[in-house]
């Protein structure tokens, strides 16, 4: 039986987390391969995306498939302010993020009246409206051509001036900090009244309502927290890549990415988005870099010279969506609770049943 | 005694169908009011009208002198009126304790306080051993008790119980009856929908009978038991 006190962080996992964060802080000092840093930056950004979506999708159970709207808004507002108004991003980010949050409240107040699949459809529709606006409002957004960032002004921190944004180190630390913050926010939400209320809403809206939970208020709080981090992620993405257009930040694929990270890792858990990112980022990089066809050649499944080999080499890199789709089907079939749930079940099976039961609830607390 | 709840000429229409029509009664503080009637009589609809899930089409609901029709269920709950569900609604992927904590958070923002209230409520329904179990895995008898513990954690002054004995075996029903009587001792007013006539006759101080959405009769249990109209509504004219 669990003691009747709210769960706290045990010492051992806390030390583990500190060690991991320290290792990640030290990583650029040890590894100076730009490609490795690039992968890590993508990984952190993906963690932010997943953990941000997790607040509204995982805890509150409101499956938004429209987070590209807020991701794109954060990116566009920051980049437009920088490129056309010469507002340094460390200032421009704030109006961008607050704009996205304000928009989220308006959209949430309308769409949260809907439940289940109707809410999902509405969220897709809203994101599509944002994409079309960005595409057609050329005087502000430069339409389909997108915006190419010319340069980021030097940043002064204390006595140091950072001018070197080509090296990935400043981005590495900024995105790492954001990822840690987002995951910490997940933890804080989960272990608060808000977290209990969001989970109650996820489990049964009518029951939650009858227990004194103002549904629209709490759903909107969840969305605004989620959008805060989503807009940050969008802004960092735009600044890092140096180019945005509607096709890269405002499509439904971007929205689906937010959801996939959590589905694959484990929805409504703290470790889920991290695991999801660890699976998805290397996978999509491997596909992009043609590692998959190389592997097939190396294994001798097909040889590079044959027409099949040429076909695979040309097409596997573009098979992102296909592989994603297959992955999601496999996860839903075999790991309905994501990678995290799968791992937990494996661990539970290795212990005697009574112990496994209590260990299960402990892990529910710490994960 | 003061009236805790006053239902005044409440009607609820769904299209042309009158699920409740012109229902009026008052509930005095501290009593158990039995609400009975054949299937489809409009008992659950009336609960929904009282607790804010449906706005009544006509009429008023007054709770401790305040008009509550038009308020949302969460506000009604905060005012001190709470209901359970005929079809239980456990928060399945949360633990039993967490379910009750959600209820307790209606009165406090502190998790530690809510947790203590929740544990106390679980002890009251003798389910403290189950605190760490997932609510979705409980058998029906315990789900019903969890429902009661959770709603009590919101510290209601008026409790509306919608068929909490439905689907239970005699031993479990007896446990619920004892629970309802204990709740009465704590001066919490209760409205109880129940199909088990023996149980409702035993626990109720007053009974209101609904039939086809209208109030058919109201009175003390023994008056209702010998009311010809009520017998006719339940068993058909031949038995009246």
Mean pLDDT (chain A, rounded): 88
Contacts of A212 in chain B (CB under 8 A): 74, 77-78, 82, 103, 105-106, 154
For the segment A244-256, the average pLDDT, to the nearest whole number, is: 95
* pLDDT beyond 50 at A6: no
CATH code assigned at B3: 3.40.50.300
Tell if the CB–CB gap between A206 and B82 is shorter than 8 Å. no
For chain B, say whether A215 makes contact (Cβ under 8 Å). Answer: yes
Question: Would strands B3-14 and B17-28 be described as parallel, antiparallel, or unpaired?
Answer: antiparallel
Tell if the CB–CB gap between A206 and B53 is shorter than 8 Å. yes
CA angle, B207 then B213 then B215, to 5°: 35
Distance from CA of B118 to the nearest CA of A (A): 8
B187 burial type by CB count under 10 A (0-12 exposed, 13-18 middle, 19+ buried): exposed
**In this complex, how many residue pairs, one in chain A and one in chain B, have their CB atoms less than 8 Å apart?**
100
Q: Chain A residue closest to B51 (CA)? A: A210
pLDDT of residue A95: 97
**Do B136 and B224 have their domain in common?**
no
**Do A259 and A294 have their domain in common?**
no
Contacts of A59 in chain B (CB under 8 A): none
A299 burial type by CB count under 10 A (0-12 exposed, 13-18 middle, 19+ buried): exposed
- pLDDT band, very low/low/confident/very high, at A352 (cuts 50, 70, 90): low
* pLDDT beyond 50 at A364: no
Distance from CA of A191 to the nearest CA of B (A): 9
- pLDDT band, very low/low/confident/very high, at A328 (cuts 50, 70, 90): confident
Cα separation, A277 vs B212, whole angstroms: 58
A9-45 in b/e form (b: 16+ CB < 10 A) is: eeeeeeeeeeeeeeebeeebeeeeeeeebeebbbbbb
Please tell me what DSSP assigns to residue A35.
Answer: H
- pLDDT band, very low/low/confident/very high, at A351 (cuts 50, 70, 90): low
Distance from CA of A182 to the nearest CA of B (A): 22
Question: Which tens digits make up the pLDDT trace of B78-105?
Answer: 999 999 999 999 999 999 999 999 999 9
Contacts of B50 in chain A (CB under 8 A): none
**Do B63 and B180 have their domain in common?**
yes
Last residue of a domain, one of B110, B138, B155: B155
**Do B143 and B29 have their domain in common?**
no
Tell if the CB–CB gap between B115 and A4 is shorter than 8 Å. yes
* pLDDT beyond 60 at A361: no
**Do B189 and B141 have their domain in common?**
no
Q: Are B42 and B213 in contact (CB under 8 A)?
A: yes
Question: Which tens digits make up the pLDDT trace of A77-93?
Answer: 999 999 999 898 999 99
**Do B14 and B67 have their domain in common?**
yes
Residue A20 lies in a domain: no
A211 vs B111, B128, B154: nearest CB: B154
Distance from CA of A219 to the nearest CA of B (A): 14
| Site from B110, B111, B130, B134 to mutate, A interface, most A CB atoms within 10 angstroms | B111
* pLDDT beyond 90 at B2: no
Mean pLDDT (chain B, rounded): 94
pLDDT of residue A4: 43
Say yes or no: ipTM exceeds 0.90.
Answer: yes
Q: Which residue has the higher pLDDT, A351 or A167?
A: A167
**Do A343 and A367 have their domain in common?**
yes
- pLDDT band, very low/low/confident/very high, at A344 (cuts 50, 70, 90): confident
Q: Are A280 and A39 in contact (CB under 8 A)?
A: no
Residue A33: CB partners within 8 Å, gap ≥ 6?
A: none
pLDDT of residue B63: 96
pLDDT of residue A2: 46
Residue B240: CB partners within 8 Å, gap ≥ 6?
A: B228, B229, B231, B232
- pLDDT band, very low/low/confident/very high, at A367 (cuts 50, 70, 90): very low
Gyration radius of chain A's alpha carbons: 22
* pLDDT beyond 50 at A1: no
| Sign (positive or negative) of CA dihedral B102, B106, B109, B115 | negative
Residue A25 lies in a domain: no
CA angle, A318 then A324 then A328, to 5°: 165
* pLDDT beyond 90 at A32: no
Tell if the CB–CB gap between B129 and A1 is shorter than 8 Å. yes
pLDDT of residue A329: 85
Last residue of a domain, one of B140, B155, B170: B155
Question: Which tens digits make up the pLDDT trace of B151-164?
Answer: 999 999 999 999 99
Distance from CA of B160 to the nearest CA of A (A): 11
Residue A224 lies in a domain: yes
**Do B160 and B220 have their domain in common?**
yes
Cα separation, B109 vs A152, whole angstroms: 45
Structural domain boundaries, residue B54: 1-80+156-240
**Do B168 and B237 have their domain in common?**
yes
CA distances from A72 to A76, A97, A212, A235, B141 (A): 6, 11, 35, 8, 50
Contacts of B89 in chain A (CB under 8 A): 204, 206-207
For chain B, say whether A200 makes contact (Cβ under 8 Å). Answer: yes
**Do B113 and B149 have their domain in common?**
yes
Between A166-170, A205-209, B32-36, B44-48, the lowest mean confidence (pLDDT) is in A166-170
Structural domain boundaries, residue A243: 31-288
User: pTM value?
Assistant: 0.90
**Do B69 and B103 have their domain in common?**
no
**Do B210 and B166 have their domain in common?**
yes
Query: Percent of chain B, pLDDT > 70?
Result: 99
Residue A154 lies in a domain: yes
**Do B220 and B232 have their domain in common?**
yes
* pLDDT beyond 80 at B43: yes
* pLDDT beyond 70 at A5: no
For A:103-162, CB contacts with B below 8 A are none
CA distances from B107 to A32, A177, A236, B51, B124 (A): 55, 36, 41, 18, 18
A2 vs B77, B105, B132: nearest CB: B132
Total domain count, chain B: 2
Query: Percent of chain A, pLDDT > 90?
Result: 62
Question: Which tens digits make up the pLDDT trace of B59-76?
Answer: 999 999 999 988 999 999
Cα separation, A219 vs A225, whole angstroms: 10
Tell if the CB–CB gap between A197 and B102 is shorter than 8 Å. yes
- 3-class secondary-structure state, position A192: coil
**Do A268 and A213 have their domain in common?**
yes
Residue A148 lies in a domain: yes
A331-352 in b/e form (b: 16+ CB < 10 A) is: beeebebbbbbbbbeeeeeeee
Cα separation, A226 vs A233, whole angstroms: 11
Q: What is the widest separation between alpha-carbon atoms in chain A?
A: 68
Total domain count, chain A: 3
- 3-class secondary-structure state, position B20: strand
Cα separation, B72 vs B53, whole angstroms: 7
Between A28-32, A114-118, A223-227, A235-239, the lowest mean confidence (pLDDT) is in A28-32
Q: Which residue has the higher pLDDT, A315 or A180?
A: A180
Phi then psi for B206, rounded to 5 degrees? -140, 160
**Do B75 and B160 have their domain in common?**
yes
B77 vs A202, A203, A212: nearest CB: A212
**Do A275 and A346 have their domain in common?**
no
pLDDT of residue A360: 39
pLDDT of residue A8: 54
Question: Which tens digits make up the pLDDT trace of B182-230?
Answer: 999 999 999 999 988 899 999 999 999 999 999 999 999 999 988 888 8
Q: Chain B residue closest to A268 (CA)? A: B93
Question: Which tens digits make up the pLDDT trace of A43-69?
Answer: 999 999 999 999 999 999 999 999 999
**Do A251 and A294 have their domain in common?**
no
């Amino acid at each position: 039986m669990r003691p009747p006190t709210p769960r706290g962080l045990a010492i051992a996992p806390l030390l583990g987390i500190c060690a991991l964060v320290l290792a990640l802080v030290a990583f650029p000092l040890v590894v100076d391969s730009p490609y490795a840093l690039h992968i890590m930056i993508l990984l952190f950004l993906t963690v932010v995306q997943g953990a941000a979506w997790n607040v509204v999708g995982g805890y509150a159970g409101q499956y938004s498939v429209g987070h590209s709207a807020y991701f794109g808004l954060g990116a566009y507002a920051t980049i437009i302010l920088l490129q056309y108004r010469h507002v340094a991003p460390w200032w421009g980010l704030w109006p961008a993020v607050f704009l996205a949050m304000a928009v989220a409240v308006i959209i949430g107040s309308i769409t949260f009246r809907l439940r289940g699949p109707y809410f999902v459809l509405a969220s897709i529709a809203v994101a599509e409206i944002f994409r079309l606006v960005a595409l057609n409002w050329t005087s502000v957004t430069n339409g389909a051509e997108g915006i190419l960032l010319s340069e980021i002004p030097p940043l002064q921190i204390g006595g140091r001036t950072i001018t070197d944004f080509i090296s990935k180190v400043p981005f590495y630390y900024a995105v790492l900090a954001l990822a840690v913050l987002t995951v910490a926010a997940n933890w804080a939400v989960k272990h608060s009244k808000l977290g209990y209320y969001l989970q109650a809403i996820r489990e049964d809206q009518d029951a939650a309502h009858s227990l004194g939970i103002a549904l629209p208020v709490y759903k909107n709080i969840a969305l605004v927290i989620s959008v805060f981090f989503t807009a940050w992620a969008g802004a960092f993405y735009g600044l890092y890549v140096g180019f945005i257009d509607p096709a890269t930040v405002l499509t439904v694929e971007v929205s689906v990415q937010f959801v996939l990270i959590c589905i694959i890792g484990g929805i409504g858990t703290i470790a889920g988005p991290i695991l999801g990112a660890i699976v998805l980022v290397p996978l999509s990089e491997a596909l992009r870099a043609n590692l998959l066809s190389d592997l097939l050649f190396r294994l001798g499944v097909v040889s590079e010279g044959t027409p099949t080999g040429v076909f695979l080499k040309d097409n596997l890199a573009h098979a992102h969506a296909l592989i994603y789709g297959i992955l999601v089907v496999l996860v839903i079939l075999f790991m309905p609770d994501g990678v995290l749930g799968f791992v937990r079940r494996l661990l539970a099976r290795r212990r005697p049943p009574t112990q496994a039961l209590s260990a299960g609830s402990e892990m529910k607390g710490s994960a | 005694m003061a009236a805790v709840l006053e239902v005044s000429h409440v009607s609820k229409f769904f299209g042309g169908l009158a699920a409740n029509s012109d229902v009026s009664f008052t509930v005095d503080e501290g009593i158990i009011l039995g609400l009975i009637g054949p299937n489809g009589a409009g008992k659950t609809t009336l609960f929904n009208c009282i607790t804010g899930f449906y706005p009544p089409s006509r009429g008023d609901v007054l709770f401790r002198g305040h008009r509550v029709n038009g308020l949302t269920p969460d506000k009604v709950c905060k005012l001190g009126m709470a209901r359970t569900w005929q079809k239980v609604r456990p928060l399945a992927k949360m633990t039993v304790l967490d379910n009750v904590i959600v209820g307790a958070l209606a009165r406090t923002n502190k998790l530690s306080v809510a947790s203590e209230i929740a544990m106390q409520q679980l002890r009251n329904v003798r389910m403290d051993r189950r605190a760490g179990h997932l609510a979705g895995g409980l058998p029906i008898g315990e789900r019903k008790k969890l429902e009661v513990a959770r709603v009590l954690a919101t510290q209601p002054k008026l409790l509306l119980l919608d068929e909490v004995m439905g689907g239970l075996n005699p031993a479990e029903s007896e446990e619920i009856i004892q629970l309802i009587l204990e709740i009465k001792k704590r001066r919490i007013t209760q409205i109880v929908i129940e199909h088990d006539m023996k149980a409702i006759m035993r626990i109720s101080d007053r009974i209101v009978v609904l039939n086809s959405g209208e109030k058919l009769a109201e009175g003390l249990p023994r008056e209702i038991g010998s009311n010809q109209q009520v017998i006719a509504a339940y068993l058909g004219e031949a038995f009246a």
